[in-house]
Amino acid sequence: MRTAFLASLCGLLFVGTLIVSAQSTVSPVEGTWKTTHTNDDGNTASTVYQFHASDGRLTGQVEVAWGNLSIEQGTISDGRFAFQIHMGESIWKYDGQVKDGNLSITVHDPNMPAATLSATRLTEEQSRFVAIPPPPLHVVPSNGLAKTPLMGWNSWNYFQGRITDAIVRQIADAMVSSGMRDAGYTYINIDDTWEGPRDSSGQLHPNKKFADMKALADYVHARGLKLGLYSSPGTETCAGYPGSYGHEEQDAATFAAWGIDYLKYDWCSAFRLYPDGDMRAIYQRMGDALRKTGRPVVFSISSGGKEHVWTWGRLAGANLWRTTDDINPGWKRIENIGFSQSELAQWSGPGGWNDPDMLEVGNGHLTPDEQRTHMSLWALLAAPLITGNDLRSMSAETAAILTNREVIAIDQDALGVTGRRILQMGLIEVWTKQLANHQLAVGVFNRADHAQVAEFDWNALGLNHPAQARDLWQHKDIPLTGDRFRREIPAHGTVLLRFRP
Ligand code: GLA
């Protein structure tokens, strides 16, 4: 007891000394620090820390490749510090010490073994990096691609950083054997984590997961498919791999030489170089660079829906632009994204499409009804149908949902009109999409967690006593009588109909 009391008294005295010294001198941790870390793919990524120390508290931020994260619960005492940050839904803890001007920091990522890195101090000049000025705005002429919404597959939703050359080849084979290619899915897109180092001439190479990108493109092309890649206008991609900053024309030429047909270009660390207001000019720079290659390359803007990208994406040379932050395979996220797109309909059409993010059909624990709703809503939205599941092992039910040609035909309709919400009755919603030849697609959705009866007058949709509709999930013509629709719809379920005049 007495010892404990003495110890706490010493502690108090000690803290007292620290406070006095903190008031009179700047803490040695104060300032901007940078760590670099090489991962198993051979990629070197950097993290920048801005530390402020005062009265035993450590505040500031950690700059990762895709944003600034605030330091929480930071403490510093006698050069030893600890803090945490919220990295998406998980908490990463850090601790370390500064001694004789050297700072070491240990990162406790809950999914990885702890790693201790030494940091170097950035001078004020180094922290005040001046970016290449954005080009003056102009309109990038259309590349003539994407007359209907893009269809394909992307590695991110399921594989994230685990994507390899071997998996891409297996996915290409599965695309063919599952009937996906013949249903219209053509692009195989490699998302983040393929990028390797640049050589002394600035030429970008794939990392060791991808031995030969040209050979991989040949393999994919030989199966009647197309190959897509991913980059960023920043120095680093969102996962911390090399971006195209300062190498836009060189990278576009490299991609074209490899035989790449699609580029997803993700804002990520460009936020460190440019204010969001410069986005159009910066995307235009890559739009111009791709055009200059002479190769038809689909250009996809991924910027989390910032800066009303739908109003200018097409002018920057893009064929699709993300309207939202990332999707995940949870019903709530899919529901929030899908049902919030009605207002953006006017901006999407042949050559340039709103992109509410890739499909999660076949991922996570979505019910069959939720998967059909996801697919139906994306089709009504004329959204790109870029699947994100493991095509090598998908269930027959998932394959049937993804290859439902009657639903795909709604998405791919030649008129290129984007559907809108027409009726909202509590958690029942009715969306329509005008189709070519005066036809109409109608989706009736039940967003409730329980079955509900949906009921409304046909004339609320501008339909006059229709005698028949095609049910696109039941694959049958259904006779209609009376002037009202009435049907029980399961929780999170959909009825999708096509009307012919
Ligand atoms: C961002 C994008 C995702 C994916 C990752 C890759 O989060 O929105 O679709 O491309 O980057 O790091």
**Can 326 be counted among the known catalytic residues?**
yes
**192 CA distance to ligand 1 middle (Å):** 7
Q: Looking at residue 44, what is its pLDDT?
A: 86
Cα 154 to Cα 132, 189, 237, 262, 432: the distances in Å are: 31, 5, 16, 11, 28
Domains annotated on the chain, with CATH: 6-124 (2.40.128), 151-411 (3.20.20.70), 420-499 (2.60.40.1180)
Q: Looking at residue 40, what is its pLDDT?
A: 86
Q: Which residues pair with 76 in a beta bridge?
A: 81
**238 Cα nearest atom in ligand 1:** 12
Q: DSSP string covering 486-499, please?
A: EEEE-TT-EEEEEE
Q: Which of 39, 159, 191 to mutate to test the pocket of ligand 1 (most atoms within 8 A of CB)?
A: 191
- pTM of the entire predicted model: 0.89
CA distance 225 to 464: 43
The secondary element (H helix, E strand) that includes residue 374 is helix 368-380
Q: Which of 66, 264, 302 to mutate to test the pocket of ligand 1 (most atoms within 8 A of CB)?
A: 302
**Can 266 be counted among the known catalytic residues?**
yes
Q: Looking at residue 376, what is its pLDDT?
A: 99
Reported as a single tens digit per residue, the pLDDT across 79-138 is 999 999 998 888 999 999 998 888 999 999 988 889 999 999 998 877 777 899 999 999
Q: Looking at residue 18, what is its pLDDT?
A: 37
CA distance 147 to 351: 5
For 419, the token pair is: 């559907």
CA angle 224, 228, 230 (to 5 degrees): 170
Q: What residues in the chain have per-residue pLDDT under 50?
A: 1-23
Coil, helix or strand for 131?
coil
Residues in contact with ligand 1 by the CB-under-6-Å rule are 156, 191-192, 237-239, 266, 302, 326
Q: Looking at residue 124, what is its pLDDT?
A: 82
